[in-house]
Structure 1
Amino acid sequence: MDEKRVREIFKKTGVLQEGHFKLTSGKHSDQYLQCAQVFQYPKYVEELCEELASRFDEQEIDLVIAPAIGGIIMSYAMGTALGKKTIFAEREDGEMTLRRGFRINEGDKVLLVEDVTTTGGSVREVIDVVEERGGDLVGVGILVDRSGGEVDFGVQKEALLTVDVKAYEPEECPLCEKELPIDKPGSRDI
């Protein structure tokens, strides 16, 4: 699968949105990638995750993990593509943790997946969860890397689409200066 096919799927499913957005990182942008839109279409999710899974063929993987809520479906689809167990981390009292009886065993080879990353904050929080439990992070798979390829997790990172979408600190946002209404589709403070 090439980038053209990924963009075609994202266009068909309404992933890319334009306006004035507050991102999960707290930054503002005139574009937002709502990957939840693609998760409505199992055939596309399967196609995307099979491609992403193939990029980790050389890795030994015991477990797939993702941050909730955006990564839950992706984790399941990646686990299906890889034939591996899947779990997700979620926030409790503002901190990422494992709940619902999920476990990472000492030495488990863990692949972390995420739908979209900008600064990598949520991914780093889940990396901490993996490491605190003795897991061995072997890679990070992402549908869309909004950092322009800049974010680094110290392991193999694969993204189906890498974009460099402008993001502004709130106090420097030209959209705020124009007093355009802001949407907070992925922000933690909603």
Structure 2
Amino acid sequence: MQDEEVLAEFRASKALLEGHFLLSSGRHTARYLQCARVLMNPDRAGRLAVALAAALPRDLRKQITKVVSPAMGGVIIGHEMGRALGVEALFVERPTGTFELRRGFALEPGDKVLMVEDVVTTGLSSREAIKAIEEAGAEVIAAAALVDRTGGTVDLGVPFTALIALNFPTYAPDEVPAELAAIPAIKPGSRAQP
């Protein structure tokens, strides 16, 4: 799937939002991708997952025994990636602020895991999810996301593949341009704000 085709999927679902958004990282931006909207259509979610799975290096795809994603944002794309790869899909969640497996989910020693997110902005959630997966006894062999918003700078400690890279400017709280500051900020993500 080419970048323009991926963007067409986001536009068709009205997932590309404009306004003033406060990201989970504490940074501000005028554009936000609401991946939940692009993933709410099962056919679209499936197409995107198949395309993301195809973008993974072939040798890695063959090794993956489980897909694990962080709740909330990664649950749908993680499930669809499990379907695309023909493996089980689990998720980690933060009932007390730290990612952990719950709901009877378990990883076995020797499991080779693909950690999947919807969007990677700073890599914090991804690194936290990877840590939880490793603490559960599995090996994370790669990470993937629909969207890389890091400008290609993220280091998750494992190979990382994104379906598309989008680089919207973000601003520290003391750097927000006046025209953006004049608009009330919305907290669109699922993660608690700093």
Q: TM-score range by the shorter chain?
A: over 0.9
Q: Does the 8 A contact of 1:170 with 1:176 survive in 2?
A: no
Alpha-carbon spacing, 1:64–1:177, altered in 2? closer, same or farther (3 Å): closer
1:41 and 2:44 aligned: no
Q: Which amino acid aligns with 2:168?
A: V
User: Are the aligned partners of 2:74 and 2:116 in contact in 1 as well (CA < 8 Å)?
Assistant: yes
From 152, 158, 161, the equivalent of 2:164 is 161
Contact 1:35–1:115 at 8 Å: present in 2 too?
Answer: yes
For structure 1, the 5+ residue unaligned runs are: none
The 2-side partners of 1:65 and 1:189 are apart by 21
1:31 is the counterpart of 2:34: no
- Quick one: distance in 2 between partners of 1:174 and 1:165? 14
Q: Where does residue 65 of structure 1 map in the other structure?
A: 68
**Does structure 1 conserve the Cα–Cα contact (< 8 Å) formed by 2:114 and 2:144?**
yes
Q: Which position in structure 2 is the counterpart of 1:133?
A: 136
1:58 is aligned with what amino acid? Answer: D
In the alignment, which residue of structure 1 is the partner of 2:173? 170
Counterpart of 2:127 in structure 1 is 124
- Give 1:128 deviation, angstroms: 0.4
Q: CA RMSD in A?
A: 1.5
Query: Is the alpha carbon distance of 1:176 and 1:27 closer, same or farther for their aligned partners in structure 2, counting shifts above 3 Å?
Result: farther
Equivalent in the alignment of 1:145: 148
Residue 102, structure 1, aligned to residue 105, structure 2: yes
Partner of 2:188: 185
User: What residue ranges of structure 2 are gaps of 5+ in the alignment?
Assistant: none
CA contact (8 A) 1:20 1:175 kept: no
The reply to whether residue 82 of structure 1 matches residue 85 of structure 2 is yes
The SS at the match of 1:92 is: coil
TM-score, scaled relative to structure 2: 0.93
Which digits, 9 at most, give the CA deviation of each residue in 1:29-57, with x for residues without a partner? 11101000111211111111001112233
After the TM superposition, list the runs of 4 or more consecutive aligned residues in structure 1 that deviate by more than 4 angstroms. Answer: none
The total of aligned residue pairs comes to: 190
**d(CA) in 2 for partners of 1:55 and 1:92?**
32
Letter in 1 for 2:96: D
Q: CA deviation at 1:176?
A: 7.9
- Asked whether the 8 Å contact 2:147–2:162 carries over to 1, the reply is yes
CA distance in 1, matches of 2:104, 2:160: 28
Distance change in 2, residues 1:37/1:177 (3 Å): closer
Look up the match of 2:53. Answer: 53
* Cα pair distance change 1:175/1:113, threshold 3 Å: farther
1:175 to partner: Cα distance? 5.0
Aligned to 2:16: 16
Tell me how far 1:179 sits from its aligned partner: 3.1
